[in-house]
Structure 1
Amino acid sequence: MSGSVSEAPPGLLRQLSARPSVMAALVVFLLIVLACFLLPLLGITDIGGMSVRNRLSAPGTNGYAFGADAFGRDLLGRLLVAGQASLAIGLGVAILSTLLGVILGLVAGFFRKLDTALSRLIDAMMAFPDILLALSLVAIFGGTMGNVILALSIVYTPRIARIVRASTLVIRELPFVEAARALGTGTPAIMLTHVLRNILSPILVQATFIFAYAMLAEAGLSFLGVGVDPKTPTWGIMVNEGRQYIDNAFFLILFPGIAIALSVLSLQIVGDGLRDALDPRLSKET
């Protein structure tokens, strides 16, 4: 026997399409993703070429649409390659933190004996400001892309865990869960089939927000010089590298800053739209 307490309303895509701002944000984000991953493959931009003679060329001069950096590299090509790393980090953090948060939240919410200890652990982790905890973890793990994803995943895992735990505490007491126990359904099956299935909507929404938070946090870490190794360009690293030339080449900061802002803002708007569509009680104009 199974039940459902938070089934997604029918016609999710139709509901999202009725919100112009959400659809516009989704299109913007998809265009950013496609540009970052497809244009370099098509050879439209010069990725690694350097020209000292053309260093710090302004946008639209010497054949550089977005200008050239301090080494004479095409800023557009570097922006696209850096976007691949920034987007990969955001997606990796969203996936890993969601997996860890779901496991932690399900265990805390379903097993009463473990609830107090795990809840205190979650509260303790959330007591630290995100950026300070991320700085500490990156300093411990090291500045590779994998370590940055791991550190930020640990930072954002409590966000998912609290949502999953709170929902699990409610669902585990509902009649269809009690009926499943009476029929001899095992605990793992109940957790996955009856509990997790009914809380996928808030998990999906929160994962969308974490995607945006992670990209912003990575940019902050890279700007402070403690993020990914500079050999792997990210938008945050580009901003960090360009700040010393802000007086005579402000575009070195402008374009990666716009890329970060557009990506994060579009993800936030899409997340708001998903939340409103998946939970009719919160329905409102975005």
Structure 2
Amino acid sequence: MADTQTADSSGREGAKFIRQLLKRKSVAFGLFVLVVFVLLAAFAPWITPHSAYKLSIAHRLTPPGAEYWFGTDEFGRDVFARTLFAGRLSLLVGASVVVLSAVIGIVLGLLAGFFKSLDTIIARLIDAMMAFPDILLAIALVAALGPSLMTVIVALSIVYAPRLARIVRASTLVIRELPFVEAAQSMGISTGHIMTRHVLRNLVSPILVQATFLFANAILAEAGLSFLGLGVSPEVPTWGTMIAAGRQYLGSADWMTLFPGLAIILAVLSLQIVGDGLRDMLDPRLKKDL
């Protein structure tokens, strides 16, 4: 009975939080754009009237029109179809990077924040990794491991994990000194249980907010790596490779870079807007000012 009441209370609080979040027009717009991107990516094979891979030299560099909504590229491939399929890859990379970097960052942050003997070592490691510019470190890792989809995901996860680890560490240093943690320790509760049930549960808000920003950064970084030729295979459509290919036709076929560029801008901007909204709602100091 108590579990049922707790679940109902949590459900009502969650619904109330979502309603308050959607009251902000900018956040509602960001969520709407994200939902549209997800739906277009999920149903891309059934939405696109043309193949994203079929070459048609007779229709190369066709301007946007009724048959080819976003025009065609230098090989006659449909830019609309390739933009949607590129969105599937970008969302996959972004989600994978968020999950993997969250696992690495949470583990490192909890260990550094809870165990004083490990704090110095892990903190110095985090500082050393964050001393390098993100894109340069990602380029170095991809070049060392070899360009592929999995390599890009692993490299970006290693690059962004220290950001999350630093936030988790800072919050854990505060939480571990609170009375309820000391009470749990005095009762003989295991350290692992305290870290997961008492500490980690209080870190959900900052982790969730940071995850949205990491998602946006991962999409942007993947496009940058693909633009430089360090991403997935050139045959696979990505927003970065599409923009790189369209550079040669600026002025004569601007649509080749325009539409993938707009897709990157909208995806990253919507994630940033949602992240800002979540931060404002979940941070008590900012929420008080709303």
Do the structures match in fold with TM over 0.5? yes
Q: Give distance in 2, aligned partners of 1:152 and 1:284.
A: 35
Give 1:42 shift: 4.8
Indicate the residue corresponding to 2:244 in structure 1. Answer: 240
For the aligned residue pairs, the C-alpha RMSD in angstroms reads: 1.7
Partner SS for 1:58: coil
Alignment of 1:1-286 (within 5 A): 10=13, 11-42=16-47, 44-60=49-65, 63-283=67-287
Give 1:226 shift: 1.5
Q: Give distance in 2, aligned partners of 1:78 and 1:284.
A: 45
**1:34 is aligned with what amino acid?**
L
Counterparts in 2 of 1:50 and 1:231: CA distance versus 1, 3 Å: closer
Give 1:141 shift: 1.1
**1:139 is aligned with what amino acid?**
A
Contact 1:39 1:45 in 2 (8 A): no
Counterparts in 2 of 1:216 and 1:245: CA distance versus 1, 3 Å: same
What TM-score comes out, normalization by structure 1 length?
Answer: 0.93
Give 1:202 shift: 0.3
Partner SS for 1:247: coil
Give 1:81 shift: 0.8
Gaps of 5+ in 2: 1-9
Give 1:283 shift: 2.8
Give 1:194 shift: 0.3
Counterparts in 2 of 1:58 and 1:137: CA distance versus 1, 3 Å: same
Q: Give distance in 1, aligned partners of 2:288 and 2:257.
A: 36
Give 1:97 shift: 0.5
Q: Give distance in 1, aligned partners of 2:249 and 2:288.
A: 44
What TM-score comes out, normalization by structure 2 length?
Answer: 0.92
Partner SS for 1:40: helix
Deviations 1:29-64 (A, max 9, x none): 110111122132355443332210110000016x11
**Count of equivalent residues:** 278
Q: Give distance in 1, aligned partners of 2:289 and 2:84.
A: 33
Q: Give distance in 2, aligned partners of 1:43 and 1:261.
A: 21
| Structure with the largest fraction of helix | 2
Counterparts in 2 of 1:120 and 1:185: CA distance versus 1, 3 Å: same
- Asked which structure has the greater RCO (Cα within 8 Å, sep 6+), the reply is 1
Contact 1:106 1:165 in 2 (8 A): yes
Counterparts in 2 of 1:230 and 1:195: CA distance versus 1, 3 Å: same
Give 1:206 shift: 0.2
Partner SS for 1:184: coil
**2:77 is aligned with what amino acid?**
R
